[in-house]
Amino acid sequence: MLSARDVGLTYRTRKGTIEALGNLSLDVQQGEFVSIVGPSGCGKSTFLKIAAGLIAPSTGEVRLKGETITGPRRDVGIVFQKPTLLPWKTVLENVLLPARALKLDMQNSRERALELLDRVGLGGFAGNYPRELSGGMQQRVGLARMLVHDPSMLLMDEPFAALDAMTREVLALELQRLLLAGDRSVLFITHSIPEAVFTADRVLVMSNRPGCIVEELHVPIARPREVSTMSDPDFIGLCDHLRHRFNLTMTPEGTD
């Protein structure tokens, strides 16, 4: 589905040239959920922007379904750390933004948007405005908006990072439920080791800048996964392995 080969990115600053990414290569298969973890500043978000077609790499290329990515694509859905909802539009209108931008049939899109709001537990909030929602509810709107145009590839940049631990767990469960209903591929950036292991089929580890993939960890834990999965010995062992990879001590959140 998604393939990156020898992707590098160099940019200039007032203090000189910075190499953000160096020869990064990875693959995401059809229907696969891949999480990426790595030190702060290693280029995780930068690579996601390249995969989304928002910036161009200095070297190498990223392909989606065999085609080189040269700009934003209709078959890609994106959600960022902040939901970036338009405050003057209702929840329903915010979810419909991609459909309007892509000039899709609005009647069908409206029906799908309402269905998605139901699925993320916001069926009664379609007419509300973002200021009337909690942070977790706003991020659920972002999830619905990401899916409204039915993309086959999802790019998620720390979508739950600003939320409390309990809300993060709830949304991780909801994300799994939403994705099990389809055959979408996901590239998920996170700083939380437990979140990476809980959500993914594979976890990729990035090095310090210039970022590249230095380890691939398979997660052989059956789906659907529940909160109780986090106390499973296999889950704990995988998280412990990643913590040691970053020379971390054991913490409840397990973040770097």
CATH of the domain at 251: 3.40.50.300
The answer to whether residues 138 and 178 belong to one domain is no
The answer to whether residues 84 and 172 belong to one domain is no
The answer to whether residues 174 and 71 belong to one domain is yes
The answer to whether residues 141 and 210 belong to one domain is no
21 within a domain of the structure (yes/no): no
Per the structure, the count of domains in the chain is 2
Half-sphere exposure of residue 81, counting CA atoms within 13 Å on the CB side?
10
Three-class SS of residue 198? Answer: helix
The residue among 151, 182, 209 that closes a domain is: 151
The answer to whether residues 131 and 178 belong to one domain is no
3 within a domain of the structure (yes/no): no
- Which pLDDT belongs to residue 252? 39
- Which pLDDT belongs to residue 178? 77
16 within a domain of the structure (yes/no): no
Half-sphere exposure of residue 212, counting CA atoms within 13 Å on the CB side?
12
- Which pLDDT belongs to residue 223? 87
Q: Specify the length of the chain in residues.
A: 256
- Which pLDDT belongs to residue 216? 94
103 within a domain of the structure (yes/no): yes
Sorted by sequence, the CB contacts under 8 Å of residue 4 that are 6+ apart come out as 24, 25, 26, 27, 47, 50, 51, 60, 61, 62, 63
17 within a domain of the structure (yes/no): no
Cite the DSSP H helix spans in 102-250.
Answer: 106-119, 135-147, 165-180, 193-199, 233-245
Please name the amino acid found at residue 129.
Y
The answer to whether residues 121 and 170 belong to one domain is no
233 within a domain of the structure (yes/no): yes
Positions of the chain with pLDDT lower than 70, given as ranges: 181-182, 247-256
The answer to whether residues 177 and 130 belong to one domain is no
Please name the amino acid found at residue 168.
R
The answer to whether residues 122 and 168 belong to one domain is no
Mind giving me the DSSP string for 129-153?
-GGGS-HHHHHHHHHHHHHTT--SE
The answer to whether residues 176 and 248 belong to one domain is yes
Residues of the domain holding 147: 78-151
- In the chain, the N- to C-terminal Cα span, in Å, equals 29
The answer to whether residues 249 and 174 belong to one domain is yes
Distance, in Å, from the CA atom of 229 to the CA atom of 97, rounded to the nearest integer, reads: 36
214 within a domain of the structure (yes/no): yes
- Which pLDDT belongs to residue 71? 87
- Which pLDDT belongs to residue 253? 40
The residue among 128, 151, 174 that closes a domain is: 151
The residue among 101, 128, 151 that closes a domain is: 151
Sorted by sequence, the CB contacts under 8 Å of residue 97 that are 6+ apart come out as 86, 89, 145
Scored b (16 or more CB within 10 A) or e, 172-189 reads bbbbbebbeeeebbbbbb
Task: Count the neighbouring beta carbons within 10 Å of the beta carbon of residue 17.
Answer: 8
142 within a domain of the structure (yes/no): yes
